[in-house]
Amino acid sequence: MTAASTDTATLFIDGAWTASSDGGTREIRNPADGELVGVVSEATREDTEKAIAAARAAFDRGDWSSVPAPERGDFLLKVAARLRERKDEFAMAETLDTGKRLVESEIDMDDIANAFAYFGKMAGSNAGRVVDAGDASVVSRIEYEPVGVCGLIAPWNYPLLQAAWKIAPALAAGCTFILKPSELTPHTSILMMQVLEELGLPRGVANLVLGAGAVAGAPLSEHPDVDLVSFTGGVSTGRIIAESAAKTVKKIALELGGKNPNVIFADADFDAALDNALNAAFVHSGQVCSAGARLLVEEPIAERFVDELVRRAKQIRLGGPFDEATETGPLISPEHREKVTAYVAKAVEEGARIRCGGTWGEGDLAKGWFYLPTVLDNVKRASNALLEEAFGPVVTVETFNGEDEAVELANDTDYGLAGAVWTQDAGKSQRVARRMRAGTVWINDFHPYLPQAEWGGFGRSGFGRELGLAGLSEYQEAKHIYHNTNPQVTNWFTDHENENGKDGQAS
């Protein structure tokens, strides 16, 4: 572990590190043991407005957008290389903020570097296209320009990963931005700004404000000088952002989580499906937007499968991020643990049965914000437990018979971020995957993503996409340029005064 940081000049605005304008600070504590990680500045609305002004000025000057796209791509490749060089430092900072296992943070850093590398390669390859106008004298083409100033709001569960999915395409497109990470997990965002500064990004292109969303984040969706706001987080906050952004008709992209079905057919590879059902529900203590929190099992194997799931869930080892025996860690905060506790209590009130878990950690775990892996069965279809996210280590069990019922149950949600289907029947897997209303569907797997493949959801999971070609397009505006190389008089409107000549006589 490293010593707690004490430098509170942690806002990065217009190329300079600064403290909050009112001197406000926030303590950051490790969720695994409550130990102090650092003290950082808490931005005011005025600070965020200064960051917006800096980003606006930098964009209007063309400091970054005028840099040729291939050179912007080269810059992102340098960022990827620097992240790989400093992987250990970044992973440690992420782990101290989130309490997640160090090995998980190390994996995250690899994925972040890969995202920057992908968009670095993409930056110079999307030069637009020529459109056939049906006229040899017309050159008609589509060009892609940066959308402008971007407000980027990232969550606490994967702080830098989710930020990178926004920063990398924004820079590739030529935009400027203001990043507002979760107030609970700021340190890797601070390190990222240091890397961008060290590599020579022009001042004002990248800005960082820290603090609570209601104060530091709100101007990003409200201010007329922000052209796009990209948010990853909860539905309630997403609605507020959408309403605020609508007043200035700015572009928005929202990734708002999911209630993701994991469908297990009777002919699935039992051991692989069971192992991945545990991963789907309990990795990072279920604090994953794509967590497989709804387990749907076909009747013939349901009793055996759920019994084994419960047996295995009881064995999951909770602990601190540096204990090699640890398999999953704490929840992010005491307040979040209270929410998960209330969620499970309500499920029980509505008839659900706790098969395992449903309690806080005891003994050494009492130092942190731990909640035991929890399996709920006998959950009614109208139960809140099936309708809303727990965003914790809680999985509900439903059973089905046949493909049609599996699809009906899988789609019985207002969300549509992700889902999975497990079967050894290739035709069945494809049929079910096509019918599932979700932005990502895994077949015989759960959780992997690719930087070159779009990520996002249907319904209450939001709109817009991150990663892939569409992820870059979010930060671009398409412009049609129509060039007539041989202009002609059309005579659409007649010059009546001169139609017979200047003297009024027929010519």
pLDDT in tens, 53-70: 999 999 999 999 999 999
Tell me, what DSSP letter sits at residue 317?
Answer: P
> Can you tell me the distance from the alpha carbon of 213 to that of 32, in angstroms, rounded to the nearest whole number?
24
- Per DSSP, the three-state class of 305 is helix
Higher per-residue confidence, 497 vs 452? 452
**Which one-letter DSSP state was computed for residue 486?**
S
DSSP string, 148-183: -EEEEE--SSSHHHHHHHHHHHHHHHT-EEEEE--T
Structural class in CATH, domain 261-443: alpha beta
Q: Is the pLDDT of residue 505 over 60?
A: no
- Write the CA distances from 178 to 44, 59, 183, 224, integer angstroms: 14, 12, 15, 14
What stretch of H or E contains 310? Answer: helix 299-313
Cα angle for residues 226, 44, 211 (degrees, 5° grid): 85
In the chain, the percentage of residues whose pLDDT exceeds 70 is: 97
Which pLDDT score, from 0 to 100, does residue 1 have? Answer: 47
Distance CA 320, CA 304 (A): 32
Long-range pairs for 424-430: beta carbons < 8 A, 24 or more residues apart: 424/267, 424/268, 424/269, 425/265, 425/267, 428/265, 428/403
Instruction: Report the distance separating Cα 370 and Cα 430, nearest Å.
Output: 38
Q: Residues near 185 by Cβ (< 8 Å), separated by ≥ 6?
A: 28, 94, 97, 98, 156, 159, 332
Q: Are strands 138-146 and 129-131 parallel, antiparallel or unpaired?
A: antiparallel
Encoded tokens for 60: 């209007």
Q: Nearest 5°: phi and psi at 49?
A: -65, -35
Active site residues: 255
Tell me the CA distances in angstroms from 108 to 115, 182, 247, 314, 470, one per residue in order. Answer: 11, 17, 36, 27, 22
Structure tokens at 492: 């659409």
pLDDT confidence tier of residue 127, bands split at 50, 70 and 90: confident
Which pTM does this prediction carry?
0.95
Whether 502 shows a pLDDT value over 80: the answer reads no
What stretch of H or E contains 462?
strand 462-463
DSSP strand pairing (462-463 vs 251-255) = antiparallel
Beta bridge partners of 484: 138
Phi, psi of 394, rounded to the nearest 5 degrees: -130, 125
Helix or strand (DSSP H, E) at 84? helix 69-85
Residue with tokens 């998980």: 104
Confidence band (pLDDT; 50, 70, 90) for 6? low
- For the chain, domain boundaries: 11-256+461-482, 261-443
Contact 1, 322 (CB under 8 A): yes
Find the mean pLDDT for residues 485-504: 82
Please compute Rg for the chain using Cα positions. 26
Burial class from Cβ neighbours inside 10 Å (0-12, 13-18, 19+) for residue 35 reads: middle
When pLDDT is averaged across residues 112-116 and rounded to a whole number, the result is: 98
**What pLDDT, on a 0 to 100 scale, did the predictor assign at position 134?**
94
As a whole number of angstroms, the distance between CA 230 and CA 179 comes to 10
The span from the CA of 280 to the CA of 61, in Å, is: 47
pLDDT band at residue 507 under the 50/70/90 scheme: very low
Closest of 167, 156, 190 to residue 116, by C-alpha: 167
Homologous superfamily, domain 11-256+461-482: Aldehyde Dehydrogenase; Chain A, domain 1 (3.40.605.10)
Mean pLDDT of all residues belonging to the chain: 96
Ramachandran sector of residue 387 (left: φ over 0; alpha: ψ -120 to 50; beta: rest): alpha
Burial class (CB in 10 A: 0-12, 13-18, 19+), 3: exposed
Helix (H) or strand (E) holding 254: strand 251-255
The most distant pair of C-alpha atoms in the chain lies apart, rounded to whole Å, by 108
Q: How far apart are CA 122 and CA 115, in angstroms?
A: 11
Residue range 140-166: mean pLDDT, rounded: 97
Mean pLDDT value of segment 25-44: 97
For residue 283, pLDDT beyond 70: yes
